[in-house]
Amino acid sequence: MQIKLVKRKVAVIIFYDNKGDILLQDRKNYSKHGEEYGFFGGKMEGEETPEQALKREMREELELDIKDYKLFKTYRRIIPEINRDVIMNVFLSKIPDISSLKVNEGGLAFMKFKDSFKLKMLPGNVELLKEIYKFLKKRGEIKCN
């Protein structure tokens, strides 16, 4: 018998700076599927566009009125470990002023990009971080190793 996957459309964001640092969501006390770290953002609701969902999620999770962001890519990812068929809208943005953020879901995890490659995340997320890191390095948006 085949299990029907739950379909989801999500908008998530990865915050970074030119020194090779990133800001992720610490989910150790907020995990839904056993992951310890994840991306800020979440499920698109109703007829929301990815951009509308991202802005809503940033207000809900960080009380951040995000304005400067760009779409990295949109792709479909099957995650059988959590029974999901996900359309991922992945955005990138510079790290905001951390002192101004009010974290309402999970916590802040500030680290070097390369350190994130060893984290316990949902399947595929570490590979996505590696792809983003290579992309940003190639474009000269990350200036160090």
- Give the chain's mean pLDDT: 91
Has residue 131 been placed in a domain?
A: yes
The predicted pLDDT at position 85 comes to 87
What lies within 8 Å, CB to CB, of 137 at 6+ separation is: none
Q: How many CB atoms lie within 10 A of CB 10?
A: 20
- Which CATH number is 119's domain given? 3.90.79.10
Q: Is the pLDDT of residue 1 over 60?
A: no
3-state secondary structure of 135: helix
Residue 57 Cα distances to 26, 77, 81, 84, angstroms? 16, 20, 24, 20
The predicted pLDDT at position 73 comes to 96
Has residue 110 been placed in a domain?
A: yes
Q: Tell me the pTM.
A: 0.91
For the segment 8-34, what is each residue's pLDDT rounded down to a tens digit? 999 999 999 999 999 999 988 776 777
Has residue 77 been placed in a domain?
A: yes
The predicted pLDDT at position 31 comes to 67
Domain span at residue 28 reads: 6-138
Cβ atoms of residues 39 and 24 within 8 Å: yes
Has residue 34 been placed in a domain?
A: yes
Has residue 38 been placed in a domain?
A: yes
Cβ atoms of residues 24 and 126 within 8 Å: no
For the segment 64-107, what is each residue's pLDDT rounded down to a tens digit? 999 999 999 999 988 878 788 889 999 999 999 999 899 998 89
| Domain count across the chain | 1
Q: Which two tokens stand for residue 129?
A: 């971080």
Has residue 145 been placed in a domain?
A: no
Q: What is the pLDDT confidence band of residue 5, given thresholds at 50, 70 and 90?
A: confident
Has residue 143 been placed in a domain?
A: no
